[in-house]
Amino acid sequence: MTDTLTLHRKDLGTLEPLGRGGTAFVYGLPDLPPVRLGAGSADGLVYKEYKRKTLLKAGEALTPGLRSLVAFRQHRLPHELHARWDERIVWPLRVVVNDDGAAVGIVMPLIPYRYFQRVIRRSGPPTLVTREAEKLFGDDETMRRIGIVPIAEEIRLQLISRIVATYAMMHRQAIVIGDISGKNLVYDPVPRPVGVLVLDADSARVEGTRSAFSSQPHTPQWEPPEALAALHRFHASGGSVHPDAVTAQSKRTDVYKLGLLVVRILDHGRGRSLNRDPAAAQRVLRRRLGPDAADLLRHSLADDPDDRPTLRAWYEAFHPRDSLDDLTARPAGAAPAAARAGSSGARAPASTDGPVDGQVVGDWVFVAGSGWHRRHG
């Protein structure tokens, strides 16, 4: 039996295979209009179906954890914030359940085309991939070789400003983001304004609840000092330390990982993707925003979590004339954005001019009321 938080798998209609990731298979949903799930003018919906190993690893925490995320958007998130939230954050719209009522996946909006990039491969035709934040970490020569133009310092700062505002909005709404990394964030450097989209929000949690996946694991090379210390104790104890001591995440671990993002975006280049040294990035912040912003970065990477600043402090550094309350206003002319489904498979294009019924772009056709779908035949 389903409710307002869930959909039965058999009621999703046609499933169009789009791709697969490490944890899930991804399907387009041509028979399910976004408006039915309160997704506004999203370009379409996708179904992220977790693989068996993912379900087994998550265990009994999966169903209540996912329900809490969907319920948060439906019942706790202020209505006036929905448009901005959907524009910037991948968020589950429904939990998909099987005949037993157990979660097997989630329904989310489709990622907009602005967050994709055609990259040149050493062999074969160009490939359409998500423009993940880790592409900002590399050197300009390598980026040019794969077809990505170098990003100027000014645009990098604009992207960081957008990231800071988005994460601050999430913290203000009592969301622990958790798995922040260079792969869980995509960007569009075109200043209209620049765009960022937080991915894989099914790994986040509402404060006071447990993650849908039992714990919130850290991506390798993004672990805060306390997690690395706990991991050392875990191995030294022969595994007797509770795993949550290794993976436990909080708003303070989010701030540390934001600090790593800032370091790796501003101090980029060959071999810099694992960089944890804030010195060069601090110089950029000091020159562009002043000494307080540079100090924020240094304190964000503190070993002691209690010494780290809040995301509100970061927001105020990048938006000195604004209040965090301004984030609750719907952005002028902005429609709710689509979200990632957890796979690098190609997605439907989105039109910045507004697609019309029957519009064809490549292998996709736009159907009024239900979004973009693959053409057959």
pLDDT at residue 143 is higher than 80? yes
pLDDT at residue 7 is higher than 60? yes
So where are the chain's domains? 6-374
CA 323/CA 266 separation, integer angstroms: 25
Q: What is the mean pLDDT of the chain?
A: 86
Retrieve residue 108's tokens. Answer: 């989310």
Distances (CA, A) of 374 to 28, 119, 139, 338: 9, 21, 35, 17
SS3 content of the chain, % helix, strand, coil (to 5): 40, 15, 45
The pLDDT confidence band at residue 209, using thresholds 50, 70 and 90, is confident
Residue 343 confidence (pLDDT): 35
CB 13 within 8 A of CB 358: no
- In tens, the pLDDT along 95-129 reads 999 999 999 999 998 899 999 999 998 888 898 99
Of 334 and 242, the structure prediction assigns the larger pLDDT to: 242
pLDDT at residue 144 is higher than 60? yes
CA 19/CA 26 separation, integer angstroms: 5
The pLDDT confidence band at residue 58, using thresholds 50, 70 and 90, is very high
This prediction's pTM: 0.84
Q: Mean pLDDT over residues 288-310, rounded?
A: 97
pLDDT at residue 367 is higher than 80? no
Amino acid at 158: Q
Residue 81 confidence (pLDDT): 92
Retrieve residue 4's tokens. Answer: 């307002």
CA 209/CA 68 separation, integer angstroms: 8
Domain at 6-374, CATH homologous superfamily: Transferase(Phosphotransferase) domain 1 (1.10.510.10)
Residue 238 confidence (pLDDT): 78
CA 93/CA 310 separation, integer angstroms: 28
Backbone torsion region of residue 248, taken as left when φ is above 0, otherwise alpha when ψ lies between -120 and 50, otherwise beta: beta
- In tens, the pLDDT along 15-31 reads 999 988 889 999 999 99
Q: Mean pLDDT over residues 148-154, rounded?
A: 93
Retrieve residue 228's tokens. Answer: 């690395």
